Chain A
Amino acid sequence: MSVPAFAALLERLVFTPGRNAKLALLRDWFATQPDPDRGVGLAALTEELVFTAAKPSLIRDLVAARTDPVLLALSHDYVGDFAETVALIWPVRAGVNTPPPALSEVVEALELTPKPELPALIGGWLDTLDSSGRLALIKLITGGLRVGVSGRLARVALSEWSGKPVEEIEEVWHGVAPPYLALFRWLEGNADKPDPREAPVFRPLMLAHPLEDADVAALRPEEWRAEWKWDGIRVQLTAGPGGRRLWSRGGEDITNAFPEIAEAMEFHAVLDGELLVIRDGVVAPFAELQQRLNRKAVTPRMMRDFPAGVRLYDLLFEGGEDLRPLPFDARRARLEDWVARIAPARMDLSPQIAFGSVAQLAEIRDGARAASIEGLMLKRADSPYAAGRQKGLWWKWKRDPLSIDAVLMYAQRGHGKRSSFYSDYTFGLWRPDGEGGEELVPVGKAYSGYTDEELAWLDRWIRNHTTGRFGPVREVEKSLVLEVIFDAAQLSSRHKSGVALRFPRIARIRTDKPASEADRLDNLMSYVERRAPAEEDAAG
Chain B
Amino acid sequence: MPPHPESWLRVTPQGLYCEPGGFFIDPVRPVGRAVITHGHADHARPGHDAVLATPETLAIMRARMGEGAAGAAQQPIRPGEVLEQGGVAIRLAPAGHVLGSAQVVLDWQGSRAVISGDYKRQRDPTCAPFEPVPCDVFVTEATFALPVFRHPPPEAEVAKLLKSLALFPERTHVVGCYALGKCQRLIRLLREAGWDAQIHLHGALASLCRLYEELGVALGPLAPATVANKAALKGAIVLAPPSAVQDRWARRLAEPVVAVASGWMRVRQRAKMRGVELPLVISDHADWDELNRTIDEVGAPEVWVTHGRDDALVHALALRGIRGRALHLVGLGEEDEGPAPEVAEPASAAEGGVQA
A residues neighboring B (CB under 8 Å): 8, 12, 14-17, 21, 24-25, 28, 67-68, 70-71, 74-75, 78-81, 84-85, 88-89, 91-92, 130-131, 286-287, 290, 409-410, 412-413, 415-417, 419-420, 424, 426-428, 441-445, 468, 470-473, 475, 490, 492, 494-497, 500-502, 504
The CA-CA distance from A16 to B168 in the complex, in Å, is 12
Q: Are A496 and B349 in contact (CB under 8 A)?
A: no
| Known contacts A130-B152, A417-B255; is-contact A71 B269 (Cβ 8 Å) | no
User: Which of chain B's residues have a CB closer than 8 A to the CB of A409?
Assistant: 348-349, 352
Pick the residue among B146, B277, B278 that contacts A78 (CB under 8 A): B146
On whether the beta carbons of A290 and B356 are closer than 8 Å, the reply is yes
Q: Which residues of B contact A70 (CB under 8 A)?
A: 312, 315
Chain B nearest CB: distance from A60 CB in Å?
16
> What's the minimum C-beta distance from A62 to chain B, rounded to whole angstroms?
15
Given contacts A71-B312, A492-B356, A501-B356, contact A470 B271 (CB under 8 A): no
B29-37, B194-202, B215-223, B246-254: which one contacts chain A? Answer: B246-254
Find B267's partner among A88, A91, A442 (CB 8 Å cutoff).
A88
Of B246, B272, B343, B354, the most chain A CB neighbours within 10 A belong to B354
**CB-CB under 8 A for A410 and B246, given A68-B319, A74-B311:** no
Check B167–A494 contact: CB distance below 8 A: no
A selection of 5 A-B contacts at a CB cut-off of 8 Å is A68-B315, A74-B311, A91-B147, A420-B246, A445-B355
Do B248 and A420 touch across chains, with their CB atoms under 8 A apart? yes
Q: How many contacts between A and B, using CB within 8 angstroms? A: 149
Interface 0/1 of B292-332, CB less than 8 Å to A: 00000000000000000101100110010000000000000
B257 surroundings in chain A (CB, below 8 A) = 21
Q: Does B279 contact A (CB under 8 A)?
A: yes
Q: Which residues of B contact A92 (CB under 8 A)?
A: 150
- Picked from B160, B345, B354, the residue with its CB within 8 Å of the CB of A473 is B345
* Chain B window 237-272, contacts with chain A (Cβ cutoff 8 Å), 1 for yes, 0 for no: 000000000111111000101100000001111011
Q: Which 7 A-B pairs have the closest CB atoms?
A: A471-B343, A442-B352, A88-B148, A500-B356, A410-B349, A426-B352, A445-B353
Distance in angstroms between the alpha carbons of A419 and B348 in the assembled complex? 22
Q: Tell me the nearest residue of chain B to A500, going by C-beta.
A: B356
Q: B197: shortest Cβ distance to chain A, in Å?
A: 22
Question: Once the chains are docked, how many angstroms separate the CA of A21 from the CA of B164?
Answer: 11
Interface-central residue, B147, B152, B354, by most chain A CB under 10 Å: B147
Residues of A contacting B164 in the complex (Cβ-Cβ under 8 angstroms): 12
In the complex the two chains form, is A15's CB within 8 Å of B349's CB? Answer: no
Complex Cα gap A473–B272 (Å): 15
With most chain A CB atoms within 10 A of its CB, the pick from B275, B346, B356 is: B356
Question: Cβ of B343 and Cβ of A88 under 8 Å apart?
Answer: no
B147 partner, pick from A67, A410, A443, A496, beta carbons under 8 A: A67
Chain B residues positioned under 8 Å from A8 (CB to CB): 160
Q: What's the Cα separation between A50 and B315 when bound, in Å?
A: 40
CA distance A21 to B278 in the complex (A): 12
Minimum CB–CB distance for B323 against chain A, Å: 17
A63 CA to B257 CA, complexed, in Å: 35
Which residue of chain B has the shortest Cβ distance to A443 in the bound complex?
Answer: B352
A501 to B273, CA, bound (A): 27
Q: How far is the CA of A425 from the CA of B278 in the complex (A)?
A: 26
- Whether a CB of chain A sits under 8 angstroms from the CB of B225 is no
Residues of B within 8 A of A (CB): 146-150, 152, 160, 164, 167-168, 246-251, 255, 257-258, 266-269, 271-273, 275-279, 309, 311-312, 315-316, 319, 341, 343-346, 348-349, 351-356
Contacts of A443 in B (CB 8 A): 352
- In the complex, what distance in Å separates the CA atom of A15 from the CA atom of B277? 5
Q: Complex Cα distance A21/B272, Å?
A: 16
Min CB gap A132→B, angstroms: 9
Q: Are A473 and B250 in contact (CB under 8 A)?
A: no
Return the chain A residue nearest B166 by Cβ. Answer: A28
Contact A16 B345 (CB under 8 A): no
Residue of B nearest to A14 (CB): B268
A441 CA / B356 CA spacing, docked (Å): 17
Is the pair A15, B150 in contact by a Cβ cutoff of 8 Å?
no
Cβ–Cβ contact B352 & A410, under 8 A: yes
Rounded to whole angstroms, the CA-CA distance of A539 and B266 in the bound complex is 60
> In the complex the two chains form, what is the Cα distance from A177 to B198 in whole Å?
48
A138 CB to closest chain B CB, in angstroms? Answer: 13
Chain A minimum-CB-distance residue to B342: A471
**Residue among B266, B343, B353 facing the most chain A CB atoms (10 A cut-off):** B353
Contact among B246, B249, B268, B312 for A81, CB-based, below 8 A:
B268
Specify which chain A residues have a CB less than 8 angstroms from the CB of B279 in the assembled complex.
15
CB-based contact B269/A80 at 8 Å: yes
Assess whether B351 is in contact with A495, with CB atoms less than 8 Å apart: yes
Q: Is the CB of B353 within 8 A of A426?
A: yes
**Could you tell me the distance between the alpha carbons of A91 and B147 in the complex, rounded to whole angstroms?**
9
A25–B167 touching, CB < 8 Å: yes
Give which listed residue, B148, B250, B312, B356, contacts A420 with CB less than 8 A: B250
Task: Tell me which of A287, A410, A471 contacts B273 (CB under 8 A).
Answer: A471
The residues of A that contact B246 with a CB separation of less than 8 Å are 413, 419-420
Cβ–Cβ < 8 Å partners of B168 in chain A: 21, 24
Distance of B340 from chain A, by nearest CB (Å): 10
Contact of A410 among B150, B309, B341, B346 (CB under 8 A): B346
Flag if A71 contacts B349 (CB, 8 Å).
Answer: no
Tell me whether A286 and B150 are in contact (CB under 8 A): no
Contact A131 B150 (CB under 8 A): yes
Q: For residue A495, which residues in chain B have a CB less than 8 angstroms away from its CB?
A: 351-352, 354
A70 to B309, CA, bound (A): 13
Assembled-state Cα–Cα distance A504/B355 (Å): 9
User: Across the interface, which residues of A come within 8 angstroms of B251, CB to CB?
Assistant: 420
Indicate whether A496 sits within 8 Å of B351 (C-beta atoms), given known contacts A75-B148, A290-B356, A419-B275: yes
A88 touches B354 (CB 8 A): no
CA of A372 to CA of B147, assembled, Å: 54
Indicate if the CB atoms of A470 and B277 lie closer than 8 Å: no
A468 to chain B, nearest CB (A): 8
**Complex interface: chain B residues within 8 A of A71 (CB):** 146-147, 312, 315-316
A79 and B352 in contact, given A71-B316, A419-B246, A472-B275 (Cβ under 8 angstroms): no
* Contact pick for B356, options A427, A470, A502, CB 8 Å: A502
Q: With A and B bound together, what is the CA distance between A494 and B248 in angstroms?
A: 35
Docked Cα-Cα span, A415 to B274, in Å, equals 11
Give the residue of B149, B273, B346 whose beta carbon is less than 8 angstroms from that of A475. B346
CA distance A74 to B288 in the complex (A): 13
Pairwise interchain contact B312-A74, C-beta atoms closer than 8 A? yes
Contact check, A89 vs B148: say whether CB atoms are below 8 A apart. Answer: yes
Known: A68-B316, A413-B275, A420-B246. A471 touches B345 (CB 8 A): yes
Across the two chains, which residue of chain A brings its CB closest to B269? A80
